[in-house]
Every structure is written in C-alpha cells, then in structure tokens.
Amino acid sequence: MSKISAPKGTRDILPPETAAWQHAEKVFADVCSRYGYQEIRIPTFEQTELFQRGVGDTTDVVQKEMYTFDDKGGRSMTLRPEGTAGVVRSYLENGMASLPSPVRLFYNITAFRYEKMQKGRYREFHQFGCEVFGSEGPIVDAELVSLLDLYFRELGLKETSLRINSIGCPVCRAEYNQKLKDYLAPHLDALCETCQSRYDRNPLRIIDCKETSCKPIVREAPALLDNLCPECQTHFDGFCKHLEELEINYTIDKGIVRGLDYYTRTVFEFVSEHVGTQGTICGGGRYDGLVEQVGGQPTPGIGFALGVERLLMELEQQQAAMPGPARPSIYIAALGDAGDQARKWTWKLRSLGIRAETDLMGRSLKAQMKYAGKQSFRFSTVIGDDEITAGKIRLKDMNEHSESEVSFEQAEALLADHQKQQG
C-alpha cells in the first residue's frame, strides 16, 4: 500500500517543538488575563454567509482562499479563514452585548486558507487573537497595542517595530475612494489584472497590492490619512497621544490598509526588523461597523490576529530563549519480580506531581538503565526485593554521578523539591 502523507499546506508539530508552542500559548493567555481578557472558543466551521458578510465578498480571502463545502443538508459551510467574524457571531448569538462594556475576549485557533505556500505560511495555520467590543475611544486602541508590546517583551522578541495608520470611516473613505479613482484612472491599463477588478468594487485594496507593476503607481497615490474627516483625525491623534503616554514607539505608515473589509479608523501592524526575516508578525485594527454587518446593533470593536507559525519562526531567528521539553525527573527500574512495586511507587510519585517512569516493555535491568540514560532522566533508582524489605532505595543523580541511600518518603520529598525548583 502507498504511504499516506499530510495534506499539502499542513504540517505535524512534534516534540520537542511543541514545548515552544506551549510556552507561547501560556504566556499569551497569562498576559491576556492580566488585561481582563477571557478566552472564547468558537467552531472550526461556520455558515459561509458569515464570512461573505463579515470579511467582505470582494476580498481575496472570500473570493479565492476559503475552504467552502455543502454539508449533507445542502447548507454552504466554510472552514474559518480567520477568527474575528466567528467571535462577532458568538458575541451576538450569546447575548454578550448585554454584558458590562468593554467585553474583552481572546482566542487561540486554527484557521484555513487555500493560498500559495510560503515559509512560515500554511493552509492550515494557527492564530492568537483579541477582540474588544463596546469602547469607541482611542484609549482602547492603545491598550490593545500595549498588550501585544508586553507579550513580545515577555517572549524576548526584540527586533520589531509598530506601524500605524487610519483608514477613516465610511463617510471620509467614500470621498477618498473617489479621489483615489480619479488619480488611478489614467494608469488603469498599467495596473495588474486583480487591481483593475478592484478599481470599481474596492479601490482602497489597490494601495495594498504587492505586484511590481502597481507599486510605482500606488506610491504616488493620495493617502487616506491625509483625507480624514475631523472625527477620524481626532481619533487618530488621540491614539498617537496614548501610545506616547505608554512610551510605545511607532511609525506612521500610510500604506497600511488591511485586507479585510470590516476595518475602520485605526489599523496597525507589528513588523520584524530582524535582518533576513522582515515581514508582518501580526496586524489588527478597528471594525466599528462589523457587528451591525453581522446582524447586531451598531457596536464599536477592535482586535488583532497574530500568526503563531510566523511568531515562532521569528523567535527562533532572533535566538530568543525558549524552554525545551520538560525533563523527566526519575526512572524507576525493576529488578526480578519487583515490577508491581515499581509501578505502584511510580503512580504515587505522579499523584504527587512528579514526572516519573518505569518499565512497560519487559526489558532486562541492563536495557532499562540504557533507556534511562538515553531519555535524560535526572534521577534513577532500582527497586528489588532487598529495597522493598528495607524500605530504602539508592537514588542516583545522573548529572552529578552520585548516589545516596534514602527512604521512599525521603526520596519523594527530595524529588518534589527538585521539580519545584525546575518549574
């Protein structure tokens, strides 16, 4: 029979790499908790209409990248391509609009997009994200950015820069879109095919085009930031002010427009400045019209999504200190017929919170000790009839190459103390 491989665009995450994932997840959940965010878990697939209405049916995500299928009832379903739309749906369906504002939520999800494979980018990928509902002022924008700033610092990620912009509201964006179209009209034939199709439907997305033919044209285009209405300008100025109060450095980047239709006003990105890995690590922004688009009452909102694969790749490139797998504490070898006693004590140690193993393969004593050496146990011991009768064992420190005779109770206390020190 032929070998079955993982689907293209997916990957297995194996030990010891999983230790880095667990660390990133734990620190993210801890930082979110300090800010008052609570975890939400949403379905892997939703009705396709949710993403058409929420993400925007003119976006590349909806038009080209979604995994969409009909279920057995003939209903169109889609594997989630991002987290925000599903969180908004849950916020409305579960009556969270009645909770005290702001409602702060965070998530850790897998998502799915059928797109070109790149380093650090997969068709099944992972995201950390935060969403806040109910606060319309720029203070919450700055708070959300500060959460990311703190998270990166606690992970040891250093070579990053914050870039910010405003894409206005529907009022000033409508006026800007006409000004942008007037500028682009003479250059329309020189734009790529995708941007030509965007010209009437969503001209703002042309600003974000990466095609070589479009870049020089876009570079001279009028900037939305220079065409904000007074309310949006006040909001952006306030955002900058609050970042400065928090001593968070930023750069204004008029080219940030984000790829999803639901964004308004504040948009931001954290970008790597590390040589060889420059690129966006995470992005987010405000979406004050999204809740209404999905069927709720007008509700201000803001959030971000962070690609975990991209983050871990960046941490590795910057040689940030990441923990390895938890090292096992003790291996308990059984001599002769003492296997039952060895297993019994192993189970007791585990109930005390100590990482312990014993033989499950029927190995000889020599083979057991060879296994213990390969698995890097810190301690080992041998239990036989003499040890059971005496109530004592010889505890060997595999690092120090030393032995001490202790009772079972003394060994339990020593192992518990050592593991506590190791975390």
Q: How many CB atoms lie within 10 A of CB 107?
A: 22
Q: At what angle do helices 230-245 and 138-155 cross, to 10 degrees?
A: 40
CA distance 394 to 414: 13
- pLDDT tens readout for residues 243-268: 999 999 999 999 888 766 678 999 99
Q: If 0-12 CB within 10 Å is exposed, 13-18 middle and 19+ buried, where does residue 387 land?
A: buried
Q: How many CB atoms lie within 10 A of CB 173?
A: 21
Q: Which two tokens stand for residue 37?
A: 């965010």
CA distance 206 to 218: 7
Give pTM, 2 decimals: 0.90
Give pLDDT, residue 386.
93
Mean of the per-residue pLDDT values of the chain:
92
Q: Which two tokens stand for residue 214?
A: 């479009």
At residue 254, what are phi and psi to the nearest 5 degrees?
-70, -10
Confidence of residue 56 (pLDDT cuts 50, 70, 90): confident
**Beta-carbon contacts of residue 5 (< 8 Å; ≥ 6 apart):** none
Q: Which contacts (CB < 8 Å, 24+ apart) does range 9-15 have?
A: 9/114, 9/117, 9/122, 9/123, 9/124, 10/122, 10/123, 10/124, 11/122, 15/325
Confidence of residue 213 (pLDDT cuts 50, 70, 90): confident
Q: How many CB atoms lie within 10 A of CB 162?
A: 18
Q: Which two tokens stand for residue 388?
A: 């059971």
At residue 49, what are phi and psi to the nearest 5 degrees?
-60, -30
Task: Please give the distance of CA 95 from its chain centroid, rounded to a whole number.
Answer: 26
Give pLDDT, residue 199.
85
Instruction: Say yes or no to pLDDT of 156 above 80.
Output: yes
Give pLDDT, residue 147.
98
Give pLDDT, residue 128.
98
Give pLDDT, residue 206.
86
Give pLDDT, residue 261.
64
Decide: 268 and 145 in contact? Cβ < 8 Å: yes
Q: Which two tokens stand for residue 393?
A: 């064992």
Decide: 394 and 346 in contact? Cβ < 8 Å: no
Give pLDDT, residue 107.
98
Decide: 125 and 143 in contact? Cβ < 8 Å: no
The residue among 113, 22, 107, 23 whose CA lies nearest residue 67 is: 113
Q: Which domains does the chain have, with CATH numbers?
A: 17-169+229-317 (3.30.930.10), 330-417 (3.40.50.800)
For residue 198, CA distances in Å to 180, 206, 214, 339 come to 12, 7, 13, 71
At residue 64, what are phi and psi to the nearest 5 degrees?
-125, -25
Decide: 369 and 380 in contact? Cβ < 8 Å: yes
Percent of the chain with pLDDT over 70: 97
Task: Please give the distance of CA 135 from its chain centroid, rounded to a whole number.
Answer: 24
For residue 377, CA distances in Å to 20, 124, 345, 372 come to 20, 35, 17, 6
**What's the one-letter identity of residue 393?**
I
CA distance 73 to 94: 24
Instruction: Say yes or no to pLDDT of 81 above 90.
Output: yes
Give pLDDT, residue 276.
66
Q: Which two tokens stand for residue 360?
A: 């499950």
- pLDDT tens readout for residues 364-391: 999 999 999 898 899 999 999 999 999 9
- pLDDT tens readout for residues 309-357: 999 999 999 999 888 888 889 999 999 889 999 999 999 999 999 999 9
Summarize the confidence of residues 161-183 as an average pLDDT: 91
Q: Which residue shows structure tokens 């878990």?
A: 41
